[in-house]
Amino acid sequence: MKFKPLLLTLLLLGTGCDLFLSLLDRTPPTCIILFPPDSAIVSGVVLVRVEAYDSSRITAIDFYADGVLTATESSATAEFEWNTTSLEPGSWHRLFCIATDPAGNKGSSDTLNLQIARPGQQNIFHGKFTLNNNYYRWIDFSAGAGKRLAGESRAVNGIISRLSLLDADNFQQYRQHQSYSALYEQQNAAEMTLSYQFTTAGTYYLVFLNTTGTPQTYWARFTLE
């Protein structure tokens, strides 16, 4: 079909422009939830930050909680408030967003699985990080007597060379390459779980070590109760 010059001009003006572009654009936009991270422990009113990208522009971002449309924003960046006060402590919930472009194409974010905090529950760490060979990373936190540290970690493609739980004195010995005594330690596994109850209050350190010979990406999630 050939368009006459006048008809083509009308298609490229006003709403006709979006109509014409919709005939050409078949690529869905990209939608990303920037915060909170997956597997986070949340409470109260949670601020959910979202960004979307498209070759032309974004006309809407729809926010879903447990499959229910909760809010809509007409911009490429958005912040949604998710009220969790009525949700059961310890329960898990799913969040995702869908972005729409002028052609009507829709792109969905990954689905986040978030847990509602139980009374006294504190998040220590959740997320991903990469370690080069022969490098280590620590996560420091304070814990009172009787508190329990629990969590899990895994290597995305490989193994965790060593995961150690250290008190302050032994962490300093670790950093100085001296002999140390770990409260808890695991070595050479793709996945690791940890559960430890503290008998004395203090500052403690979770230390990840990579000696595999190649960079390793680790995911971890730890809480204190």
Cα atoms found within 13 Å of the Cα of residue 220, Cβ hemisphere only? 24
Res 123: pLDDT:
85
In single-letter form, the type of residue at position 217 comes to T
> How high is the mean pLDDT in each 10-residue block of the chain (225 residues)?
46 52 78 90 91 93 96 93 93 96 94 89 87 96 94 94 97 96 96 96 97 95 90
DSSP class of residue 163? E
Cα atoms found within 13 Å of the Cα of residue 177, Cβ hemisphere only? 2
Res 22: pLDDT:
57
Task: Give the span between the Cα atoms of 156 and 53, in whole angstroms.
Answer: 27
DSSP class of residue 119? T
